[in-house]
Amino acid sequence: MEYRTEHDSMGEVLVEADKYWGAQTERSRNHFRIGVGIETMPREIIRSFGILKKAAAMANREKVPEKMTEEKLSAIIKAADEVIAGELDGHFPLVVWQTGSGTQSNMNANEVIANRANEIAGRKLCHPNDDINMSQSSNDTFPTAMHISAVMALENSLLPAAARLIDAFRAVEEANPDIVKSGRTHLQDAVPIRFAQEVSGWRSSLETDAELIRRTLEPLRKLALGGTAVGTGLNAPGGFDTLAAEKISALAGTEFLTAENKFHSLTSKDEMVFAHGAVKAMAADMLKIANDVRWLASGPRCGLGEITIPANEPGSSIMPGKVNPTQCEQVTMVAVQIMGNDTAIGIAASQGNFELNVFMPVIAYNFLQSVRLLAESIESFRIHCVEGIRVNEEKMRSNLHNSLMLVTALNPYIGYENAAKTAHLAYEENISLREACVRLGFLTAERFDEVFHPEYMV
């Protein structure tokens, strides 16, 4: 292995010769061997750093052209574009479990872009701190990267996945418009419902969740960049924050604004807490929906068996022919993980002292993991389960006509108490509601047939 010597304010450090990172990244790599190769800084954060460093350089070119020359800008843009494209991912080795400000990841980006820009320029043109970090601080860049990555993950990944699942549920509704089945509350028989109505509840829940997530985007669009170390904007030229936000918007393809109060932006992570709460709400609904689906598909002979779902893989190493609702199970496990992440994010957001929150990497890691997991879980559930749902109409009809809660239709004709007596007798003697009602003398058989129509109860 060949090495080169890099230096920082603390002295010299040996770095692998084929790596673009520098001394501060190497120090972090050596001092924080925690979750190496597994819990590295999320790719979304690295991409966001590429965007913000490119935008900052462009803004600096306009604000301080004597420092950010056209030659520097050109080299920085090319290097940053490679970061954005993921071409330099192997040069970002740092883990989540580092400084709580994310300083070392900010310096990782500064060093990689500087060294790659120098390679592009063919000479030592750019300095990590003086040029790549110009008008910035780790304290405003990391929260900026968090917000950029959060907005892009929600807009480009989770919301589209949810929209596709919503469409899939709507297709199930449209394919089964008139099938009436027994409703259930408290895991007990209830009055009838159309299967399409039941599915519409799932669809509407996700539509509501998606709208709640969209409402969290506006606060996330406000960026800390320009606040520098403590929110005062020290060493950043006037107007840099607004201009940089405009550049970021153009590069990211979605709107971002400079935060009105940078002191808030550096210390409070309430926007991330708020947004993740909406993500958790969608996860909670997904858990409920997945449980409904696997209950309805339970069986195949000894359960409810009202629907069938795709048989994707063998379900047992000992019971031949057994098939399990595995897509429902992955959804429920993902939902549990997201709920745990929400707790971690809430606690982390409450921490830090004075002018800075110092739990930002763990907030970013958990937030992005939740969004990524939920989007992928929803997509898998749609493709491998929901699009293959088929109705067992015969079983639904059988369960419906076997339900004692159909007696509710008799309330207007014989009253609540007499209807309850009818249901109890039918249950105790295992006879039909018709037979019980006639035996008790509440209605004649002819009158019962005249007023008892379960299909009209929906």
Contacts 24+ apart (CB under 8 A), 273-276: 273/345, 273/346, 273/349, 274/216, 274/219, 275/150, 275/154, 275/213, 275/216, 275/217, 275/219, 275/220, 275/367, 276/341, 276/342, 276/345, 276/366, 276/367, 276/370
Q: Is the peptide bond before 300 cis (omega within 30 degrees of 0)?
A: yes
Catalytic residue positions, numbered = 186, 316
Contacts of 311 (CB under 8 A, 6+ apart): 323
Measured from the Cβ of residue 6, the count of other Cβ atoms closer than 10 Å reads 20
First to last CA, the chain: 74
Structure-token pair, residue 3? 């090495």
Please classify residue 290 by burial: count the beta carbons closer than 10 Å to its beta carbon, then call 0-12 exposed, 13-18 middle and 19+ buried: buried
Contacts of 207 (CB under 8 A, 6+ apart): 166
Structure-token pair, residue 214? 């969209």
Region label for 37, one of left (φ > 0), alpha (ψ between -120 and 50) or beta (otherwise): left
